[in-house]
Amino acid sequence: MSVGEHVFDVVIIGSGPAGVAVAERLYEKHPAATIAVVERGPVLLRQHFYDSPRSINERDRFLVEHGACPWEGDLSRGGRLLPCLGGRGVVGGGQLHRFYEQDFTLWREGLWGVGPGALNPYFVEAEKRLLGSTQSAGPSQDFVCDVLGGFNARHPPHGPNSEVAGTIEGGYPHKSSAERLLGLLGRDRDSGRKRLSVFTETMVVKLDGSRSRSSRVHKARCVRLRQGEESTLSIHGAVFVLAASPVESARLVMVSEIAEAQSSSSAVGRYLAEHIYCRGYLDVSDRPELRHGPVNVYIPPLGSGLDDRYQIEIRSTTHSDDNRLLLRVTGSAAMDPRRENRVLISPDRVDAHGVAKAITELTRSPDDERRTISMISLMDDVVSSFGSRWLTPPRPLPCGASYHEVGTLRISAAEQESAATRNGLLFGTENVFVGDGAAFASVGTANPILTLTAMGYRLADGLVHLLDSAS
Ligand SMILES: Cc1cc2nc3c(=O)[nH]c(=O)nc-3n(C[C@H](O)[C@H](O)[C@H](O)COP(=O)(O)OP(=O)(O)OC[C@H]3O[C@@H](n4cnc5c(N)ncnc54)[C@H](O)[C@@H]3O)c2cc1C
């Protein structure tokens, strides 16, 4: 059954931190633009998971219950999406870092087409919006920073209104994408002028475009799933923004046969990368210094070379069996950007809507392995500084478990290794823009949400000019 047709200036596919950054900036900077945000999942949370005093353990259970992995291949071992309003941003965001400056140019194969200078004003704006009362600044936190002072351990980036969070495991809530999007809907209601439409439980299955040399996409073909009933929907737009997460955005491009995806020299689907996660636990139940508030500390890269591209996070949590106080130590190392790491379309496996599934191929380079070994050695040193031994020594998490995948539709400084222009326009199309981590030319060392947001704001400013010049 077809339930209708809709027309918008800009159609954004995906409501995670990336898609919402584009939507909110556009909403504010272009008072006439009509915007659609299309999200395959339902509304699960209206605010960030940590906005009620809930723990890391509860969050992990929530993710297992509601998450789903639509991919085949390497990333399916540990990776997953959270198909809901706000995407994975409703559970992630304890650490909101800027992309480290040297990582924009450190990898020869991963030179960014967008520099730190161009992004700076957008980072400032992203920090103003996202970093709220997110810092834990109690005595336990200070104690850990002191013990690990030799490693340059720091409080996570925080906003001006920092305060101590309530519980020992309590999180570090920031304004999640779901909350910000719902806020914009509220503004629409108050003004009595509907500019923003949010379609939940609506999955874009194909982008339909003209078949000329350069595709002009005119509609997103969608399937709507409500109360077990499936219907179809067409959402028309002047401009489309891909923000479905790197693997899903690339899949959509490939199944829609837009862009230059078919040629073997194309960068579409290529340069998939993520952070390699290793995690261990430390029993600190006998340390009275750690009973005074939560801990959320990070150790930035210790040097500026390729071998140093990892960071370590230390957070307090409790043992799931007996509530013992633990420190969870997570190392996260960059993967090199490599052409052979990629997303493909399965020749024979389809999802519930008959759309070809994405296959992910992700292998580690010798440098990735070396970096990981060096990171684990630093994690050992961190634990020794506490005068303790591991309860559980650092173990590599399965591929995908960082939830920081990037690449696949990259904006690189080298045009022949790019899938999109520096303004994010997908090569071979006239009106499809890359709005998520697919655009990153390298994964760098920092967690991605803040950089996704800054990139989204920059893209939105470009779209404002585009819409203005078209009118
Ligand atoms: C437990 C956890 C902790 C994390 N901690 C941090 C952290 O501290 N700092 C940090 O920076 N990052 C963190 N992250 C990572 C961060 O959440 C992700 O990098 C970020 O959410 C990616 O944003 P996105 O908008 O690109 O993708 P997502 O958040 O994955 O959103 C994509 C959305 O698109 C929707 N979608 C997909 N396909 C379609 C389709 N065909 N049609 C319609 N909709 C579609 C999905 O349902 C999803 O809602 C964490 C993630 C997790 C899970």
Q: Pull the structure tokens for residue 217.
A: 């996409």
Which helix (H) or strand (E) covers residue 459, if one does?
helix 449-470
Instruction: Please report the pLDDT score of residue 157 as a whole number.
Output: 80
Q: Is the domain of 308 the same as that of 409?
A: no
Instruction: Please report the pLDDT score of residue 173 as a whole number.
Output: 56
Q: Tell me the residue length of the chain.
A: 471
The structure tokens 């450190």 sit at 106
84-96: pLDDT as tens digits: 999 999 999 888 8
Instruction: Please report the pLDDT score of residue 130 as a whole number.
Output: 86
Which helix (H) or strand (E) covers residue 394, if one does?
strand 390-396
Predicted confidence (pLDDT) at residue 398 exceeds the cutoff of 80: yes
Instruction: Please report the pLDDT score of residue 294 as a whole number.
Output: 82
By alpha-carbon position, which residue is closest to atom 47 of ligand 1? Answer: 83
252-274: pLDDT as tens digits: 999 998 877 656 678 999 999 99
Q: Specify the higher pLDDT residue, 53 or 62.
A: 62
Q: Residue 319 maps to which CATH number? A: 3.30.310
Range in 1-5, 378-382, 389-393, 435-439 with the lowest mean pLDDT: 1-5
**pLDDT confidence tier of residue 323, bands split at 50, 70 and 90:** confident
Instruction: Please report the pLDDT score of residue 467 as a whole number.
Output: 95
Domain of 415, in residue numbers: 2-131+174-273+405-470
Predicted confidence (pLDDT) at residue 348 exceeds the cutoff of 90: yes
Q: Is residue 94 part of a domain?
A: yes
107-154: pLDDT as tens digits: 999 999 999 999 999 999 998 888 865 445 678 888 999 999 999 998
Instruction: Please report the pLDDT score of residue 155 as a whole number.
Output: 84
Model pTM above 0.75: yes
Q: Residue 37 maps to which CATH number? A: 3.50.50.60
C-alpha 442/C-alpha 412 separation (Å) is 9
Predicted confidence (pLDDT) at residue 172 exceeds the cutoff of 60: no
How many domains is the chain built from? 2
Q: Is the domain of 24 the same as that of 155?
A: no
Q: What residue ranges line ligand 1, CB within 6 angstroms?
A: 13-19, 38-41, 63, 81, 83-84, 87-89, 91-96, 203-204, 243-245, 248, 252, 403-404, 436-437, 447-449, 452
Pocket test for ligand 1, best of 13, 245, 272 (most atoms within 8 A of CB): 245
- Please identify, by atom number, the ligand 1 atom nearest to the C-alpha of residue 14: 34
Q: Specify the higher pLDDT residue, 1 or 51.
A: 51
Predicted confidence (pLDDT) at residue 331 exceeds the cutoff of 90: yes
Q: Is the domain of 308 the same as that of 416?
A: no
- Please identify, by atom number, the ligand 1 atom nearest to the C-alpha of residue 41: 47
Q: Is the domain of 126 the same as that of 12?
A: yes
Instruction: Please report the pLDDT score of residue 341 as a whole number.
Output: 98
Q: Is the domain of 155 the same as that of 280?
A: yes
Predicted confidence (pLDDT) at residue 163 exceeds the cutoff of 60: no
C-alpha 343/C-alpha 246 separation (Å) is 9
Q: Is the domain of 465 the same as that of 427?
A: yes
Q: Is the domain of 106 the same as that of 218?
A: yes
Predicted confidence (pLDDT) at residue 167 exceeds the cutoff of 70: no
Q: Is the domain of 38 the same as that of 111?
A: yes
Q: How many angstroms is it from 37 CA to the middle of ligand 1?
A: 15
Q: Is residue 85 part of a domain?
A: yes
Q: Is the domain of 100 the same as that of 196?
A: yes
Q: Pull the structure tokens for residue 328.
A: 């969870």
Q: Is the domain of 55 the same as that of 112?
A: yes
- Please identify, by atom number, the ligand 1 atom nearest to the C-alpha of residue 249: 38
Range in 236-240, 253-257, 292-296 with the lowest mean pLDDT: 292-296
Q: Is residue 290 part of a domain?
A: yes
Q: Is the domain of 61 the same as that of 146?
A: no
413-452: pLDDT as tens digits: 999 999 999 999 999 999 999 999 999 999 999 999 999 9
Instruction: Please report the pLDDT score of residue 400 as a whole number.
Output: 97
**449-470 and 17-29 helices, crossing angle to 10°:** 40
